[in-house]
């Protein structure tokens, strides 16, 4: 799952991983082990918060009860960079089972061979991945036909909105189209006497919290790469539409400079001074975890959730959203791959386990059966995100062998666009495509 407190490090970790992946020479493990024999597996994961660690430890305890011959030694709070270094080094202390919060890196995991192909294990044990997992989640856990990872809970992005502010502004429901978003954001924005802000309707600026440009851009359903893996953002007709919309949002609420100045007054995303929690934002893009945090913080206003708006000419896609999540796989260097598969299979495909884990850390379940399970703790606000995860128009980022490098390039480009530093958008996009393609070539050298 994607935990917000790890958001800042995800892209940085992707870049470090990118530098190392090009010369990877993963150790050769074994898929000839007997999974019924006594064995100790090393499982490295990134969860670090007390409740999260307890949830994964409880999951391991349940697995060991079903497989008394397999002992799992779990190590948490491990970054992608650390895992990658260990897999490159190999040896007895390297992990057997690995997980990552950064789906952007799946292309590297598969392409480098450091994470083993799971299709033979699924075929051998009769797990039909197309029946078990939603299509979009399978897509972000594979690369060029190689299923080197499986989804382990998911995150869906939608809108949180302040019902009291909506009532005050005379707005009956959350916006469903981008033009409605611009209109409502303007109505909900409250200025101060000195020209500042008391509240912004919807902050579009890309440096704020979860506002990485790719997440809102998902509402257009863009295609990042062509069939040959080359960047095609300059040819993507939705890119200008996307930037026109964010520009309209900024102009309707006072302009980029004023909004950016107000953004710098926001408290830390994970603190009690979060801008939505303190009433500085009337609408806010965020993931499913935010609802639990609002409840725990005892927000002083009524709030609700809804899908993010969609382009005006695609109203049938309303309900869609951006999806990401945790992926888990087996190290190619593991000499206990059949035993490791038993753990991966349990964590990712056992319906009862997936539901219990999702309930424990308030993430979206990652199997079709778990999404429909009556055991799922699905309050009304959380159901919004379950519906987004099920929506056939919802999208995830395409995996690439250059990991998250193309997203870093897109993000930096978007910073310049919103600040008015890109006079010719098409020319800028052509240069962006060239940069992304060069990074891809570099990652393969």
**Residues 322-351: pLDDT tens digits?**
999 999 999 999 999 999 999 999 999 999
Residue 6 pLDDT exceeds 90: no
Identical fold for domains 4-155+323-390 and 158-317, yes or no, is yes
Residue 261 pLDDT exceeds 80: yes
Q: pLDDT averaged over the chain?
A: 90
Vertex 407 angle, CA 406 and 411, to 5°: 120
Q: Cβ-count burial of 349 within 10 angstroms (0-12 exposed, 13-18 middle, 19+ buried)?
A: buried
382: its two tokens: 């959380």
Strand intervals (E) in 117-164: 150-162
Rounded Cα–Cα distance for residues 216 and 42 (Å) = 37
Rounded Cα–Cα distance for residues 332 and 116 (Å) = 5
Note the pLDDT of residue 109: 87
Among 102, 209, 15, 140, smallest CA distance to 397 is for 140
Rg (CA), the chain: 22
CA dihedral 413, 419, 424, 429 (to 10 degrees): 10
Is 3.60.70.12 the CATH classification of the domain at 158-317? no
Note the pLDDT of residue 198: 97
Rounded Cα–Cα distance for residues 5 and 155 (Å) = 14
Determine which helix (DSSP H) or strand (DSSP E) holds 287, and give its type and residue range: strand 281-287
Confidence bin at 445 (pLDDT 50/70/90): low
Q: List, in sequence order, the alpha helices (H) in 253-374.
A: 256-263, 289-297, 337-349, 351-361, 368-372
CB-CB contact of 159 with 285 (8 Å) = yes
pTM, entire model: 0.86
Domain ranges of the chain: 4-155+323-390, 158-317
Q: Give me the mean pLDDT over the 367-385 stretch.
A: 90
Q: Give me the mean pLDDT over the 212-225 stretch.
A: 95
Residue 311 pLDDT exceeds 80: yes
CATH H superfamily, domain 4-155+323-390: Periplasmic binding protein-like II (3.40.190.10)
């Amino acid at each position: 799952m994607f935990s917000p407190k790890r958001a800042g490090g995800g892209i940085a970790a992707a870049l470090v991983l990118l530098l190392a992946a090009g010369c990877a020479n993963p150790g050769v493990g074994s898929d000839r082990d007997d999974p019924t024999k006594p064995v100790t597996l090393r499982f490295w994961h990134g969860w670090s918060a007390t409740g999260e660690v307890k949830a994964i430890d409880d999951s391991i305890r349940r697995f060991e009860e079903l497989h008394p011959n397999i002992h799992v030694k779990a190590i948490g709070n491990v970054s992608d960079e650390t895992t990658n270094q260990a897999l490159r080094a190999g040896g007895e202390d390297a992990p057997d089972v690995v997980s990552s919060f950064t789906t952007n890196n799946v292309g590297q995991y598969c392409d480098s061979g450091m994470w083993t192909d799971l299709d033979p294990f699924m075929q051998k044990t009769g797990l039909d991945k197309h029946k078990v997992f939603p299509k979009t989640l399978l897509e972000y856990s594979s690369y060029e036909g190689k299923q080197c990872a499986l989804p382990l809970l998911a995150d869906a992005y939608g809108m949180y909105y302040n019902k009291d502010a909506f009532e005050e502004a005379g707005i009956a429901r959350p916006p469903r189209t981008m033009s409605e978003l611009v209109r409502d954001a303007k109505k909900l924005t409250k200025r101060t006497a000195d020209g500042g802000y008391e509240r912004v309707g919807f902050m579009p600026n890309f440096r704020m919290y979860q506002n990485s440009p790719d997440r809102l851009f998902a509402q257009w359903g863009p295609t990042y790469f062509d069939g040959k893996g080359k960047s095609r953002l300059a040819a993507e007709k939705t890119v200008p539409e996307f930037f026109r919309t964010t520009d309209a949002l900024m102009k309707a609420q006072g302009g980029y400079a004023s909004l950016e100045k107000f953004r710098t007054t926001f408290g830390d995303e994970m603190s009690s001074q979060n801008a939505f929690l303190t009433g500085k934002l009337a609408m806010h893009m965020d993931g499913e975890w935010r609802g639990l945090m609002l409840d725990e913080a005892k927000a002083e206003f009524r709030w609700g959730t809804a899908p993010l708006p969609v382009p005006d000419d695609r109203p049938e896609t309303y309900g869609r959203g951006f999806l990401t999540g945790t992926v888990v796989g087996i190290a190619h260097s593991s000499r206990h791959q059949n035993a490791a598969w038993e753990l991966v299979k349990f964590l990712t495909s056992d319906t009862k386990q997936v539901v219990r884990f999702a309930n424990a850390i308030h993430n979206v379940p990652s199997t079709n059966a778990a999404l429909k399970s009556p055991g799922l703790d699905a309050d009304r606000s959380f159901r919004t995100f379950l519906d987004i995860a099920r929506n056939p128009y919802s999208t995830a980022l395409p995996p690439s062998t250059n990991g998250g490098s193309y997203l870093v390039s897109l993000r930096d480009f978007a910073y310049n666009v919103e600040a008015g530093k890109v006079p010719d958008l098409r020319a800028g996009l052509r240069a962006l495509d060239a940069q992304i393609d060069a990074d891809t070539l570099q990652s393969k050298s």
